[in-house]
Homo-oligomer: A and B are copies of this chain.
């Protein structure tokens, strides 16, 4: 056995400063992955932005739906918000159990796959991926709507601003952030404080009877349709976007410092409390201040303007809201590529998605997310209300799958003998005497989230939910197709058990020339260096040029064969393909080795002036069995001296 040594030291990235490097930063080695952990205070900042930011639009969306019935029914927004707060409570309690069960991270994909199998796992994953995309679109659109509430001149540019923000986030994330943790704390707490102060001032004004009425809102409220149960449920469904993002902590337990699960659970409790208070508080104040849902001014803006009066505090509140919304979108830029990479690593998405770029981030996933969410923003003209019907169905489906997975898990635990330990792919099961009670908690969670998901799908179906209802099963189907493909390829490529590796076969060498020039000499020199028998082939598109080639050939290579293939249809490729196929038929047990040449320029603009016949030939020939294509590149440095086709024998070539 001959084993190669490692003569090559690992290549260090060059220190050359390129545009790419300025934009994306220097490459990081694999072992530079960050291992830092965070406490509860920073953890809240890191994981809460997605959940907390939904207060920026959830109340608006309830009012938009109720407005169809009429402003007289706006009082219903308060019980609806309380119902959503109750839903949040159920979710928090049942996810608390997931956090303790999966201390290494219990995202819906992992929990569903671990307990319910592949189909459930892929479904939960597809649902979450859909929702991550919408989180970006909705959060950015809402963020821009907040700024535009303060500066109405920006309103006509909302689509451009949204897409610009998404692209900026894409670049930041392609760079990767090593300093993720603490940088998130400042804006999150800034937002929290401004919101809580506003709510406190507002409630003080309510109690002292001095809360002003919102004025000057150009609302599109139509009203008069009358209240129906359907409308009431739809208002609830639209408002339930408030709870999106609460699952974030269960994905990131690993990021907390020890005791991980306990810290994560405590953080989740705090987050839910804050979210509930802010959401219900905003909704009550909006009702008391007679706020009106409007595309041109958000409820938060109306409240801040009314409570603080127009001025810096109003603008500051909106700035903080915009920032937290952008941060919420940004969490999707971390979560989406990571989840997609999980799918890809398991063979359910293209393998390229597992590729960590030079900055240790999943580059393809980031670019894809930016593209799709931008597309949605453009298609829906950056209107939050238009995007909402698509949103939250995915996350509620993943809630349901995850809770259902937990129910199955508790059932398994109940079957264990005490002291017995069961290892699954992603967790370890011990007997727990409280399994019945805990299973009941998760069962309630599963039923409640399932009902909410169904309400969402039905009440928002026509308004856009149908897209998601079709999309998620289509994604799952595609995932399984991809998985099947990779399994087939692995099976077909496997040489396990192969005994006979096959002996050498004859090779027919053909040199495909585009003229008798220096590049052709190089091609011919290469086959001559191989020391094999060969012949040349030329395609005659133009008869005069063909005659000239024949003449020069006879002058330079009087003893070698040149076949000129006629091409009356000016087709470069067809005659070659036909010729090669004839050779294949005549010599079925031989390789056909086609040697082509490519003239290479220093600059791609120069290259564009030359037809890339090599690529055309390769595409045409590669599917013919046993055809091997060799590309003899001929670099032409027009700024320097002509490159000599070959070095004279015994003398080294200039380099």
Contacts and interface: CB of A to CB of B under 8 A. Distances in A.
Nearest to A577: B11
Interface stretch (A118-126, A416-424, A504-512): A504-512
Interface stretch (A220-228, A296-304, A426-434, A521-529): A521-529
Contact of A6 (B352, B493, B565, B645): B565
A486 B609 CA distance: 8
A437 interface: no
A623 interface: yes
| Copies of this chain assembled into the complex | 2
B11 A482 contact: no
A531 interface: yes
A579 B8 contact: yes
A358 B653 contact: no
Interface string A388-409: 0000000000000000000000
A626 interface: yes
Interface stretch (A160-168, A378-386, A583-591): A583-591
Nearest to A636: B492
A563 to B, nearest CB: 3
B623 A633 contact: yes
A517 to B, nearest CB: 4
A494 interface: yes
B629 A2 contact: no
A525 B507 contact: no
Interface in A510-555: 515-519, 521, 524-526, 528-532, 535, 537, 550, 554
A445 to B, nearest CB: 37
A343 B122 CA distance: 57
A495 interface: yes
Contact of A504 (B498, B515, B529): B529
Nearest to A489: B636
Nearest to A552: B495
Among all A-B residue pairs, the 4 with the closest Cβ atoms = A502-B646, A4-B563, A503-B649, A493-B517
Interface of A: 1-8, 10-11, 13, 27-31, 350-352, 355-356, 358, 482, 485-486, 488-489, 491-495, 498, 500-507, 515-519, 521, 524-526, 528-532, 535, 537, 550, 554, 556, 558-571, 574-575, 578-579, 582, 584, 588-589, 591, 598-600, 606, 608-611, 618, 622-623, 625-633, 635-636, 638, 642-649, 651-653, 655
11 contacts: A1-B554, A11-B575, A350-B609, A489-B599, A493-B517, A500-B648, A502-B644, A600-B623, A625-B653, A628-B631, A629-B633
